[in-house]
Amino acid sequence: MPRTFTYRIIAAWCGVAFLSGCAGSIERWIVNTRVHQGDVALARGDARDAALAYRLALRVDPKDEQARLGYVEAAAALGRIQYAKGAFDDALATVDEGLAIDSQSVSLAALKSTIEQAKLQREIVLSNYPTYRAAGLEIQRAYQQLNATNALLLRNLKRFGYTFDVAELTSAIKRSYELELELTRNTNRLILYRQLVTSGVPERPSESTTSFGASSLLPLP
């Protein structure tokens, strides 16, 4: 075999080995970078970004222990956030994704059990008390409306600050009274809502009025 041909084979083999080493080091750099991004996001309380960063690291190296541990921790944190917001299906999906990485995670298993029980309880309650959800949403909208009234009140005060028009103060006082009255009404609705929810007495749909009159959101049990 000619010497030049031998040199070419050796050079080609060295080139392949070099490129393989580069690919490995690049993958390692990507994984380390993503894990670091996940750690930073988790430290600042951003569970969603943390989970994404760890997931990207696992796509490159599914066996990386730091990425696996980080993803499980982020999934648990994100699942708790979703659970607290009442997004039970999203929370369960997040927890299941974490369990796919670590099926033996005690924290994820406990969280999944808690979410499933809460979801079952909500389904039982809503099946027996169908107006609960609608009533709760109406109360939320009523409180959101207070924000709109308060914004108008503040606008009156700001206008008075540069016009010194007493009419602006009069409007602000009027809206302040409106806020007070609506807040009292909403507080009473909340109290009644809590009483209804905790009473455990089944609804009778034909009864649609309360001591607050026809505008009330809840039926008496």
Domains of the chain as residue ranges with CATH: 3-127 (1.25.40.10), 130-199 (1.20.58)
Please give the helix or strand (H or E) that residue 174 lies within, else none. helix 166-199
pLDDT at 21: 52
The two three-digit tokens of residue 123, written as one number: 């389904």
Alpha-carbon distance of 69 to 75, in angstroms, equals 10
pLDDT per position as a tens digit, 163-175: 999 999 999 999 9
Coil/strand/helix, residue 210: strand
Name, in order, each residue with C-beta under 8 angstroms of 83's C-beta and a sequence gap of 6 or more. Answer: 91, 111, 114, 115, 118
**Is the distance from CB of 138 to CB of 217 less than 8 angstroms?**
yes
The pTM for the full model equals 0.59
Neighbouring C-beta atoms of residue 111, cutoff 10 Å = 23
pLDDT value at residue 12: 44
Q: Identify the segments of the chain with pLDDT beneath 50.
A: 1-3, 5-20, 205-221
Nearest CA to 53 out of 24, 76, 74 is that of 74
Q: What is the pLDDT of residue 132?
A: 78
**pLDDT number for residue 135:** 82
Whole-number pLDDT of residue 124 = 81
pLDDT at 64: 95
Which of 7-45 are b and which e, b meaning 16 or more Cβ less than 10 Å from the residue's Cβ?
eeeeeeeeeeeeeeeeeeeeeeeebeebbebbbebbeee
Yes or no: say if 98 and 186 are a contact pair by the CB < 8 Å rule: no
